[in-house]
Structure 1
Amino acid sequence: MELDDMPKQHRSTARVLDVLEYLATEGQKGCTLSELSAALNAPKSSLFPILHTLADRKYVYLDKGTGRYSIGIGTYALGRAFTAGRDALELILKAMEAIVRSCEETCQLAVLDKEKVLYIGKVDSPQAIRLVSSVGARLPANCTALGKALLSGLKDEEILLLFKDRLCRMTDRSITDIQHLLAQIRAIRKGGIAWEHEESTDHVCCYAVPLRKGGKVFAAVSVSFLTFRSTPEKERLVRESLVKAQAEIEQIAEERGFVLKY
């Protein structure tokens, strides 16, 4: 089935998911109905019954003192149900912890969600000055090393159809030329390491590798660090740590037959 032939999203269901995904990125601080309305470009009259129902079912928490909504305990229960009996994420996180011990920089795990990267795991750097990021956040795939690594699992024709020649720009260094992006992705398919220097965030650079099972990319892992700590030695250490973790994770994936279902 071609991407253009996929059925359209159910509007009401999509609105509920938009609310949950946005609140997930806001963390414990949450947001008010007005702030959520502005962020989602949706009328408060349509968001209020959704929030009321989600709060009643414990998927959203309403602080009556501040009027701010945040993610509720119900979502935690769903997350636990997803991970119950599954060791894939736990094993990958252990490999990510080893990367952080080696290079002392933030390590992130992501999957591809259409033309965006969905962050599903993170191990923070012990450095006092470090990258701030959130599990559950989404960024344009063309602007991130993780995105390029994930896109390497698609054919050129699929990538062209995904972006329709419209690439997002997050900084002045973001790749907005589709042929430039494809050239980098072709190198990754041949065993190269994905990279970006200040393409998604100023003063931050990143390297990433795809994770494959049966020849298919199911996730990607990256290391991000601030440019003032970028030296030839640091970059070499980061690349070596990623390649080592890639081999370990892919071997476990083949032996145990796991993939990250999302």
Structure 2
Amino acid sequence: MDRIKLHNPTLRVLDIFEAVYNSIDGLTLAEISRRTGIAKGTLYPIVMTLLHEGFLQNLGSRIAIGKNCFKLGYAYVHSLNYLDILKPHMREIVAACDEICQLGILDGGDVLYVEKTEPNQAIRIESSAGKTIAAYATALGKCLLSGLSNDETAKLYPGEFIKYTARTIPDLKTLLQQLETVRDNGYAHEIGETNIDIECLAVPIKISDKVLASISVSLPIFRSTPEKTEKILDVLKFHAELIEKEFALLPMEVKLFSD
């Protein structure tokens, strides 16, 4: 939108906030005037009002951002759906790999598919947002389970494992061995365990060393090559690191859904 069509008095307030926000130690009234181009006579009553309302604060002779600005920022973060952060990364992963990207979280002993992004050439797979499947049979699920202790994992699977295909792992012992490999390598690789024709690679998303979620790329086995597998892992790890950094900047516990 063209700046000249906007409300000039409001723009002055926003210019003041931007000037003060970008100064760690605060600014004097004269410095704010110079940085914003607002005459002191016009600037003074605006600043006094913002000080009175708690959106600015005095630091001696200098002026800094006030606590009510923090409250506004916190309210924004609290209302944010974290999928809004994740979805752009998933689209970039799809663009780079030209294969399906999925996001999952742990739901008991299952992986709950939260989001799915597809390329134009996608081959249909059964997973979709809201669907669950045994975590032990998927790369997403194995990444999620890698954040649990062996005892915690064992409690999730007291009975026999469902065999989705002939390649589905048979038992808890095999799962625990694979989870050690996932922890060592930083990713999970599953071939034909839930769909005999599909291969999947996944990486965990961690906050403070806790596995929060996992993202994956699924592709038909006939399109898989060692070179493509390496590229997919590089792309997944790159975006997982970016996502973790973005979440780490948020001043609250990370959730995937707004309350």
TM-score range, shorter chain: 0.5 to 0.7
Separation in 2 of the partners of 1:128 and 1:185? 29
Q: Does structure 2 retain, via aligned residues, the 8 Å contact 1:213–1:259?
A: no
The change in CA–CA distance for 1:128 and 1:89 in structure 2 (over 3 A counts) is: closer
Corresponding residue of 2:156: 162
The change in CA–CA distance for 1:158 and 1:130 in structure 2 (over 3 A counts) is: same
Corresponding residue of 1:89: 83
Shift of 1:132: 4.8
Q: Does structure 2 retain, via aligned residues, the 8 Å contact 1:142–1:168?
A: no
2:212 maps to 1:218: yes
Secondary structure at the counterpart of residue 141 of structure 2: helix
Shift of 1:165: 4.7
Separation in 1 of the partners of 2:146 and 2:229? 21
Secondary structure at the counterpart of residue 190 of structure 1: helix
Shift of 1:235: 0.7
Shift of 1:202: 1.5
Identity %: 38
Count of residues paired in the alignment: 180
Q: Deviations over 1:211-243 (max 9, x none)?
A: 111111111100000011011111111111111
2:255 maps to 1:259: yes
Separation in 1 of the partners of 2:113 and 2:178? 21
Corresponding residue of 2:166: 172
Q: Does structure 1 retain, via aligned residues, the 8 Å contact 2:112–2:131?
A: yes
Separation in 1 of the partners of 2:126 and 2:99? 11
Single out whichever of 236-245 and 161-170 deviates more from structure 2: 161-170
Q: Does structure 2 retain, via aligned residues, the 8 Å contact 1:152–1:188?
A: yes
2:122 maps to 1:117: no
Q: 2:209 is matched by which residue type in structure 1? A: G
Corresponding residue of 1:140: 134
Separation in 1 of the partners of 2:97 and 2:114? 21
Q: Does structure 2 retain, via aligned residues, the 8 Å contact 1:105–1:130?
A: no
- State the TM-score, normalized to the length of structure 2: 0.66
Corresponding residue of 1:151: 145
Secondary structure at the counterpart of residue 249 of structure 2: helix
Q: Deviations over 1:179-229 (max 9, x none)?
A: 111111112223431111000011000000111111111111000000110
Separation in 1 of the partners of 2:236 and 2:225? 17
Separation in 2 of the partners of 1:120 and 1:147? 12
Q: Does structure 1 retain, via aligned residues, the 8 Å contact 2:111–2:134?
A: yes
Structure 1: 5+ residue runs without aligned partners? Answer: 1-82
Shift of 1:164: 1.1
Compute the RMSD of aligned alpha carbons: 1.8
Q: 1:134 is matched by which residue type in structure 2? A: S
Secondary structure at the counterpart of residue 196 of structure 1: strand
Q: 1:125 is matched by which residue type in structure 2? A: P
Shift of 1:259: 3.0
The structure having more radius of gyration, on CA atoms, is: 2
Which of 94, 99, 104 is the aligned partner of 2:93? 99
Q: Does structure 2 retain, via aligned residues, the 8 Å contact 1:88–1:260?
A: yes
The change in CA–CA distance for 1:234 and 1:157 in structure 2 (over 3 A counts) is: same
